[in-house]
Amino acid sequence: MLIEDFIEFTKESVNAVIKASIDIINFTIKKPYIAIPIIILCIIFPKIPLFIIVMFICIFAWIICIYLFFGFIVLLLYIIYFPFYLYDNHKYNKQYDKQNNNNQLKHQIIDNSKQDIQYQQTEQIIDKQTIDDHFNAIYNIHPDADEIAKSEELQQWINLFPEYDRVNVQNIIKQGTAEEVIQMLNSFKKWKNNKKNRLNISFIKATLEEIEEHNRYLDTMISGDGELCIFRDDTAQSEQLTEEELQEELQQKLDEHLYCLPDNVSIGRAYERYIGYLYEQDNWQVLFNGCIMGVDDNGIDLICQKDNEIHIIQAKNWANKIYNKTVHQLYGSMADYKLSENHQDKHISGVIFTTNGADYRAIQTAKRLNIEIRIIKLDKTYPLIKCKKDDNTYYLPPEIEYNPINQYYDNLSIIISQGDMYCKTIQQAKQLGFTQLF
């Protein structure tokens, strides 16, 4: 019985050892990260019991697991908290940037305010200096400028201009440069002196008429025929001309004037007047700029205005065709006129009048620059006598008769709608009620 029990115990022990060995081998294969350290520790410390090594390993493993667990918890908490941290940090940075920007803006506003105050103070000093220089320049040339500005004669002189030029003169008075004001005052004083001269001439003429009347009376007393005559000494010999004969002589000069022009300047002036006459017949206001200004006309012979339209005109009474140079000159004059005059609401265009046309290149250039070219011959039979309805006075070209009032011939614009007109003969003008002061 004992033998059988011992054999049975031995078998169970061997099976247990074999099973344990198999489990150890399986454990080693499946979990080498635990088995290998145990084997190594057994080799290093062969005297230490196996269960102590296993216990030590287990404790170490539990410690590692605890650390890993708490590490995982910390990582999880960090992952959960991190977005809130980012949001708070962004919000703080945004508030900080906003506060910083507000501070910068505040400093910038303060700096700008200081600069504006300094600029305004500087600008006031500069403006005051500029205004002083402006008036000093005017007073140096015209010390009586204030008296002239308040005088009625200045307004009378301004009223002599066409409406569109009247506005320009008033603009010069209000906001013109010192040079423009000086030039305007020079023109006014020249007109004023001419006016005084005309009055002096009127007084002298009246005196001479009294003397001539007295001579006529003596001549009548001597001859007894009662004929009233005017004595004029055109040559060394004196000749007698009646008033009718003098009028006939002036009329003959008028009729022959356009047929015997002495030079190119006279030919050009006659053509400009004729083109202006054509515009006036169509109710345009005309400024005879070339006739008035001469060589200082800035390349503009006529300035014609009707409603909101302005024509800048060059008149060329030439024997040859016009070329590109004339077209370019007029375009430049137009550009200068647009910049120098206050006509933003006006439609300004250029027109070239010529008697012999233009070459092909000039025509193409004119089309490209929106300039019109018209061919019109000078009509030498058109009426030359200008009659103004406002003062019932007729004016002859100054080349026909030297008369102070005729010097304003080119300054007049005949406005048909206001009753002004052109007359062919002096007799016709007188029959219509127009006279001359001299």
CATH of the domain at 318: 3.40.1350.10
Confirm whether 269 is domain-assigned. Answer: yes
Measured CA to CA, the distance from residue 358 to residue 153 in angstroms comes to 47
- Tokens 């018209």 label which residue? 374
Residue 267 and residue 344 in one domain? yes
pTM (predicted TM-score): 0.48
DSSP 94-126: HHHHHHHHHHHHHHHHHHHHHHHHHHHHHHHHH
Q: How many residues does the chain have?
A: 438
Residue 358 and residue 269 in one domain? yes
Residue 349 and residue 272 in one domain? yes
Q: How far are the Cα atoms of 24, 250, 404 from residue 40, in angstroms, in the given order?
A: 14, 149, 140
The rounded average pLDDT for each run of 10 residues, N- to C-terminus, in the chain (438 residues) is 63 64 62 62 61 62 72 78 70 67 60 59 62 80 82 78 68 78 81 60 54 53 42 42 81 87 87 95 93 88 93 91 92 86 81 93 92 93 92 88 81 91 92 82
Which regions of 272-317 does DSSP assign to beta strands (E)?
285-287, 302-306, 309-316
Residue 350 and residue 397 in one domain? no
Residue 95 and residue 188 in one domain? no
Residue 405 and residue 370 in one domain? no
Report the pLDDT value the prediction gives residue 139, as an integer from 0 to 100. Answer: 83
Confirm whether 342 is domain-assigned. Answer: yes
Using the 8-state DSSP alphabet, how is residue 424 labeled?
S
Residue 392 and residue 341 in one domain? no
Confirm whether 271 is domain-assigned. Answer: yes
Residue 373 and residue 407 in one domain? no
Residue 394 and residue 330 in one domain? no
Residue 64 and residue 31 in one domain? yes
Confirm whether 4 is domain-assigned. Answer: no
Nearest 5°: CA angle at 346, between 340 and 350? Answer: 75
Confirm whether 59 is domain-assigned. Answer: yes
CB burial readout 277-313, b (16+ within 10 A) else e: bbbbeeebbbbbbbbeeeeebebbbbbbbeeeebbbb
* Domain boundary pick from 162, 184, 202: 202
Domain housing 389? 383-438
Using the 8-state DSSP alphabet, how is residue 355 labeled?
S
Q: Is the Cβ–Cβ distance between 277 and 412 less than 8 Å? A: no
Confirm whether 14 is domain-assigned. Answer: no
Residue 342 and residue 418 in one domain? no
Measured CA to CA, the distance from residue 430 to residue 433 in angstroms comes to 5
Confirm whether 397 is domain-assigned. Answer: yes
Confirm whether 100 is domain-assigned. Answer: yes
* Domain boundary pick from 184, 202, 220: 202
Q: Is the Cβ–Cβ distance between 431 and 395 less than 8 Å? A: no
* Domain boundary pick from 105, 132, 154: 105
Q: How far are the Cα atoms of 301, 328, 349, 417 from residue 367, in angstroms, in the given order?
A: 21, 12, 12, 33
Residue 196 and residue 94 in one domain? no
Report the pLDDT value the prediction gives residue 414, as an integer from 0 to 100. Answer: 93
Q: Tell me the torsion sign for CA atoms 76, 78, 80, 83.
A: negative
Count of domains observed in the chain: 4
Single-letter code of the amino acid located at 378: L
